[in-house]
Chains A and B, each alone.
Chain A
Amino acid sequence: MTEDLSSAGRGKRCWDGVMLFLTGLTGVVAFLYPFLFPPAVQRPGGAQAHAQDAPLFLGVLLLLMLTFLLANLTGEGMGSKDVAMLGVLAAAGAVLRFLPLPGGASAFFFLPILAGYVYGPTFGFLAGSSALLVAALFSGGIGPWLPYQMFAAGWVGALPGFLPRRGRDDRLELVLLAFTGFLLGLFYGAVMNLWFWPFVYQPQLPGQYWQAGLGVTDTLRRYLLFYLTTSLWWDILRGAGNALLLLFFGVPVLRLFRRYQRRFYFRVRRELE
């Protein structure tokens, strides 16, 4: 029996990990790049020129990377069961997204987190991003934010797949998952803010010359303020919601996931005649 839902071999799984890592790294560098290296001003207008094409540039880069990643995580190795399971999970995720929960939390992340934990990072990534796409198709949510959302939701599903698996202690496992869920709630918010951050913030003003270090800390401070005022409180609520959902429902739903993992995995034996 394999750990991953997908019947693909070990090589494919390693490769998926590398790919997730590389695209993730590219994403991180692309996001951080306006923070780390605000362009020096050479001529009037140069600074804002960059500031104003940043959203376009980042959006296109992200879209390309995402397309590529998704194309490679899916593909050849996928069986009908993986596809059907992901489709059904995507539908469930989309329905849960619109389910009202107390405190404005969302049950959306609950399934990708558990799916990633049980079936591995690849499956988790696909579960998260496809659920988000289905939800967007239903709510008219196609927009420049969508690639960011899909990426972030994908990672929310993929990261639990890297958690250590503790077979014995149910309670420890649950606490670990709940804590991860909380962090992932914050993580999602932080990534999502980035889609309109370049609109709100322009890195450099004429007359102020960029100095290494100062620029970075200043920018990071601004982002911190931005994050504090835009979504931190929502994110804490979301994270807490994830944690609570995982604590309350984690055990029975995990058991359900594992039960179906058994039913998806088997061997065909032919008796010798």
Chain B
Amino acid sequence: MCDGVHPYGRLLWLLTAALPALLTHNPLYLTLLLASIGVMFLARRRAALAGGSPAPGQMGWRTFLTLALWIGGFSIAFNGLTTHFGRILLFRLPSGWPLLGGIITGEAFLYGLANALALVTLIAAFVTFNSILPREELLRLLPRSLFYLGLIVSIGVAFVPALVQSWQSIREAQLLRGYRFRRWHDYLPLFVPLLAGSFESALQLAASMESRGFGGRVVPQSARAVRYARLTFALASCLVIIGLLARGYWPRRPLYGVSFLLIGLALLLLLSHRQGRLVQRTRYRRWLWRRADTVWAILAAGQLLALLALWYARRSALIYYPYPPYAPWPAFDPLVGVLMMWPALPALLPARDLFARRTLSPEEGR
């Protein structure tokens, strides 16, 4: 009933693409990573176009390029002009200028470029991810404790087309009454009826949900349980705050801060899990975990583990730091390079529809 890789598999893909961008700033690795993400993006796009429908909710090329250029350019300029450190002297700005004054170095621009690449790669990874996971599946990935939020958002998503339609018809209707758009103020005749209509819809919608047993199976909590949960939360967030502060105050003993942080986060996780279990509901659609999923999961896990192992054991292989006393030119290890090409793997595997959409177009559905 469902084609393509399990949503968890798709999440794994996101990790294989985004984690390296967070762990390394080496421009050579990042370029390679960006290219492999690009391969995947193009493959998905081609498949989607062949299927007759461009992926809904997908960021266009133009938007992406604008965003990348803007953020990239800014990052390079900011780092280049505010970090006055390095051997490759380019020029000098008057020292009276706040922040900008001082020597301007090649290393600073190089590091700005590395930062920019990491950022753009990260954005590219998410843009591609948006195109391989339909939004209804994304909503279903929300943890059970966020059931209500998921419902709110799902209602929102379902209501948008109706809203756009009524916006248009209200606009036409006001035009027929001689409405002209000249100033901001003129949005009022569109705003107010649209909102009033929406609220009216909300009432009907609520009645319809209520008639269909909404909120049927939330196990009521005892007052005591509620009190404990609240205390736990307060405690946990205090621990997180203390952990953060401790890490700052005793930088030489990072373990203090980290252990507070971890305990706090673990408590939060535990609490979330418990609350998720209070919502009793079942799922109609389930993705079946199939052999292809296992294959892909093993592949992805291989890359992630290798990266983490590298990060833990030989961090210097990933780190890029152009300032002295290090060399400004990035190092390159072919093995690490191979790890960076992982995100392109699903696109190159023989089964190209590995990330196919399940969604049928209206014509197919007929």
Interface set of A (CB-CB < 8 Å, partner B)? 15, 18-19, 22-23, 25-26, 29-30, 33, 36-37, 39-40, 42, 44-45, 48-49, 52-53, 55-56, 61, 64-65, 67-68, 70-72, 74-76, 78-81, 83-92, 94-95, 101-102, 107, 111, 126, 130-131, 133-134, 137-144, 196, 199-202, 205-208, 221-222, 225-226, 229-230, 244-245, 248-249, 252-253, 256, 260, 263-264
Contact = CB atoms under 8 A, between A and B. Distances in A.
A84 B156 contact: no
Contacts of A55: 22
Contacts of A92: 163, 194-195, 198
A88 B79 CA distance: 43
B83 interface: yes
Contacts of B202: 81, 84-85, 87-88, 260
B270 to A, nearest CB: 11
Contacts of B191: 249, 253
- 4 closest Cβ contacts across the A-B interface? A37-B248, A87-B155, A90-B156, A74-B148
A30 B152 contact: no
Contacts of B228: none
B206 to A, nearest CB: 4
Contact of A95 (B75, B130, B163): B163
24 contacts: A22-B237, A26-B244, A33-B245, A39-B251, A65-B237, A71-B149, A75-B148, A78-B215, A81-B202, A84-B205, A86-B155, A87-B154, A88-B201, A92-B163, A94-B156, A95-B160, A130-B153, A140-B55, A199-B75, A200-B78, A206-B323, A230-B74, A256-B195, A260-B199
Interface stretch (B45-53, B114-122, B286-294, B355-363): B114-122
Contacts of B238: 22
Given A22-B234, A45-B319, A143-B130, 7 more contacts: A15-B230, A56-B22, A67-B272, A87-B202, A90-B152, A130-B149, A134-B160
Contact of B74 (A29, A222, A229): A229
Contacts of A61: 240, 265
B268 A65 contact: yes
A94 B256 CA distance: 43
Contacts of B79: 200-201
Given A45-B319, A130-B153, A29 B244 contact: yes
A200 B205 CA distance: 46
A26 B237 contact: yes
A137 B206 contact: no
B277 to A, nearest CB: 12
B195 A48 contact: no
B184 A88 contact: no
Contacts of A249: 187-188, 191-192
A76 B220 contact: yes
B130 A248 contact: no
Interface in B116-152: 118-119, 122-123, 126-127, 129-131, 135, 138-139, 143, 145-149, 151-152
Interface of B: 18, 22-25, 55, 57-59, 71, 74-75, 78-79, 82-83, 85, 98-99, 111-112, 115, 118-119, 122-123, 126-127, 129-131, 135, 138-139, 143, 145-149, 151-157, 159-160, 163-164, 167, 184-185, 187-188, 191-192, 194-196, 198-199, 201-203, 205-207, 209-210, 214-215, 218, 220-221, 230, 233-234, 237-238, 240-241, 244-245, 247-249, 251-252, 265, 268-269, 271-272, 275-276, 278, 315-316, 319, 321, 323-325
Contact of B316 (A45, A86, A144): A45
A74 to B, nearest CB: 3
Contacts of A260: 199, 202-203
A217 B264 CA distance: 30
B78 A229 contact: yes
Contact of B71 (A94, A196, A256): A196
B323 A139 contact: no
Contact of A83 (B74, B206, B241, B244): B206
Contacts of A206: 323, 325
Contacts of A139: 57, 59
A119 B160 CA distance: 23
